[in-house]
Chains A and B, each alone.
Chain A
Amino acid sequence: MSEELLRLAEVFMAYHTQDPPVLDGVELAIGLGQTWGLSGPSGGGKSTLARVALGLERPQAGEVLFHGRSLAGLNRRERREFHRRVQVVWQDPYLYLPPQRSVQELIAEPLAVHRLETRDRRPGRVAELMELVGLVPAQALAKPHQLSGGQCQRAALARALACEPELLILDEALAGLDTINQARLVKLLRGICQREKLALLFIAHDPRLIRLLCRHEAVLAGGRLRLELG
């Protein structure tokens, strides 16, 4: 077992008191560099689990531990660092990428926010990241609405990777894409995970996509998480 990166411990979430809980005592430990696939029926709480793991929602019971420390106990600086090291790409990039920013601005923003390169080296880093995800220099000035779904998803991925994360959460991030773009992005992500020791939590309906990307699998149904031993 590799060193533990993120752990959901006995996490409980219910949106309404009279409804059955969405997460009912969920237990999941993601080790450094581990790739996890998460599937389960629609409305089964997969995205809620993602939001809890990202610290965007506080569990009603249980806790989330990052390198063994509870998120609730992090100070401002540590919390900022956590939000850099755990990144997410959601299903629909048009819904959350700032529409007025160009591709290069979208990718440069996290570099500036987290002071990741010196100011004069940032344009070079942006170009590297664009190349890594397969965007061409001519697209640097395009804004999200001028890109296709696949291109926009690449920009979202580059923006997440700019943070040099330890864990990348993909919530149905390949679902709306055409066959060619899906295959390209799976290959790209496999390469990155191997090279950079990046851990993955890949949420998807499609078990075949999960098997292409992940070594570990879990299924969330009825609020319970079941680990598949593969």
Chain B
Amino acid sequence: MSIMTLEDLWVDLPLPEGPRPLVRGVSFRLEAGQVLGLMGLSGAGKTLTACALSGLLPPPLRAARGRLRLNGHALDLSRAGAWRKARGSQVLLLFQGAGAALNPLMRVGPQIEEALIAGPGLPRRQARERAAQALERFGLGARAARSHPHQLSGGMRRRVLLALAWALRPRVLIADEPTNGLDAASRDEMSQMFSQLTQELGAGLILISHDLRGLASWADHLAVMDQGEVVEQGPTAALLARPEHALTHSLVESLAFLEGAHV
């Protein structure tokens, strides 16, 4: 059963001469435990789609249309007010660069606590316990919990975000370029931690990336975006074997070249 269905999402940039659509009619579905790769070149609208899904579109951008079915609830994405109540913290977006996602002025333990109080509405003591548990689950102890984000390494900051996700138990986890700038070993470690986390939560994972190589080995399904539209989607293996759209074609060709298949 799908845990999430997105239908006909449009995101507009309002301009004096009329709205300019930046995301145009995007639809896809996500099953529990599934990893969906949202692939495209920069400026294709991948991040905007993720922001719209999690209610975080930066003004003046707005969702002009779009229906989201989540856990049996139906939501009209163009009605901003409908958001908070129905969504809770069921769609969690982890931004590229863990530095940007964390509050630099707050110690990381209290940041997770705060999210648990504001989102699922836990009482403070319970929130504190769950935050400590979450950090420990990702190998971060009491000392890390008392640290400010800048005192932690990049890898530790990424694990703080995973701990946050674990504590909030979202149904849908969206990760925007989660492995950018990591070396091969850390990349594998990161993808393993993400996979375990989504399994454990029974959640679906949407991975956003412009690196097809990372996605090809990680995602079960791929959706290829170009100029605000999903131009092709399907199971990863099938899509890579028989690309139909010109962009998917050149992506697959480039991938084959980089993998050394046609040197």
A179 and B183: CB pair below 8 A? no
- In the bound assembly, the distance between CA atoms of A206 and B211 in angstroms comes to 12
Contact A209 B258, CB 8 Å, known A41-B183, A178-B211, A179-B210: yes
Q: Tell me the nearest residue of chain B to A42, going by C-beta.
A: B183
Q: Is B180 an interface residue (CB 8 A)?
A: yes
List residues of chain B with CB within 8 A of the CB of A178. 41-42, 210-212
Q: Is B19 an interface residue (CB 8 A)?
A: no
- In the bound assembly, the distance between CA atoms of A181 and B182 in angstroms comes to 19
A183 and B260: CB pair below 8 A? no
- In the bound assembly, the distance between CA atoms of A177 and B214 in angstroms comes to 13
Q: Is B117 an interface residue (CB 8 A)?
A: no
B183 and A187: CB pair below 8 A? no
**Nearest Cβ on chain A to B41's Cβ, whole angstroms:** 5
A182 and B184: CB pair below 8 A? no
Q: Is B250 an interface residue (CB 8 A)?
A: yes
List residues of chain A with CB within 8 A of the CB of B181. 175-176
List residues of chain B with CB within 8 A of the CB of A207. 184
Q: Tell me the nearest residue of chain B to A91, going by C-beta.
A: B181
Q: Is A205 an interface residue (CB 8 A)?
A: yes
Q: Tell me the nearest residue of chain A to B212, going by C-beta.
A: A179
Question: CB-CB contacts of B176-209 with A at 8 A, as 1s and 0s?
Answer: 0000111111100000000000000000000000
Contact A179 B184, CB 8 Å, known A148-B42, A149-B42, A208-B260: no
Question: CB-CB contacts of A40-75 with B at 8 A, as 1s and 0s?
Answer: 011000000000000000000000000000000000
Q: Tell me the nearest residue of chain B to A148, going by C-beta.
A: B42
Q: Tell me the nearest residue of chain A to B211, going by C-beta.
A: A179
B183 and A182: CB pair below 8 A? no
Q: Is A95 an interface residue (CB 8 A)?
A: no
Q: Is B251 an interface residue (CB 8 A)?
A: yes
Q: Which residues in chain A, 121-144, are within 8 Å of chain B measured between CB atoms? A: none
List residues of chain A with CB within 8 A of the CB of B184. 205-207
Q: Tell me the nearest residue of chain A to B43, going by C-beta.
A: A148
Q: Is B156 an interface residue (CB 8 A)?
A: no
List residues of chain A with CB within 8 A of the CB of B42. 148-149, 178
Q: How large is the interface on B (under 10, 10 to 19, 20 to 34, 35 or more residues)?
A: 20 to 34
A179 and B258: CB pair below 8 A? yes
List residues of chain A with CB within 8 A of the CB of B258. 179, 182-183, 186, 208-209, 212
List residues of chain B with CB within 8 A of the CB of A186. 257-258
Q: Chain A's interface: helix, strand, loop or mixed, by majority?
A: helix
Q: Which residues in chain B, 7-55, are within 8 Å of chain A measured between CB atoms? A: 41-43
Q: Tell me the nearest residue of chain A to B184, going by C-beta.
A: A205
Q: Which residues in chain B, 139-169, are within 8 Å of chain A measured between CB atoms? A: 154
Q: Which residues in chain A, 172-219, are within 8 Å of chain B measured between CB atoms? A: 175-184, 186-187, 205-209, 211-212
- In the bound assembly, the distance between CA atoms of A133 and B263 in angstroms comes to 20
Question: CB-CB contacts of B241-253 with A at 8 A, as 1s and 0s?
Answer: 0000000001101
Our pick among B180, B186, B251 for the contact of A180 (Cβ within 8 Å) is B251
Q: Tell me the nearest residue of chain A to B155, going by C-beta.
A: A42
**Nearest Cβ on chain A to B208's Cβ, whole angstroms:** 12
Contact A42 B186, CB 8 Å, known A178-B41, A182-B258: yes
**Nearest Cβ on chain B to A185's Cβ, whole angstroms:** 10
B211 and A180: CB pair below 8 A? no
Q: Tell me the nearest residue of chain A to B254, going by C-beta.
A: A183
List residues of chain A with CB within 8 A of the CB of B255. 179, 183
- In the bound assembly, the distance between CA atoms of A178 and B213 in angstroms comes to 10
- In the bound assembly, the distance between CA atoms of A66 and B165 in angstroms comes to 52
**Nearest Cβ on chain A to B42's Cβ, whole angstroms:** 6
**Nearest Cβ on chain B to A229's Cβ, whole angstroms:** 20
B250 and A180: CB pair below 8 A? yes
- In the bound assembly, the distance between CA atoms of A206 and B251 in angstroms comes to 18
**Nearest Cβ on chain B to A131's Cβ, whole angstroms:** 20
**Nearest Cβ on chain A to B179's Cβ, whole angstroms:** 11
Our pick among A184, A205, A211 for the contact of B254 (Cβ within 8 Å) is A184
Our pick among B180, B185, B254, B260 for the contact of A179 (Cβ within 8 Å) is B254
List residues of chain B with CB within 8 A of the CB of A209. 258
Q: Which residues in chain A, 1-56, are within 8 Å of chain B measured between CB atoms? A: 41-42
Pairs A–B under 8 Å by Cβ, sample size 6: A42-B154, A149-B42, A179-B210, A179-B213, A183-B257, A208-B259
List 4 other contacts, CB 8 Å, given A179-B254, A186-B258.
A177-B210, A178-B210, A178-B212, A212-B258
B residues lining the A interface (CB < 8 Å): 41-43, 154, 180-186, 210-213, 250-251, 253-255, 257-260, 263
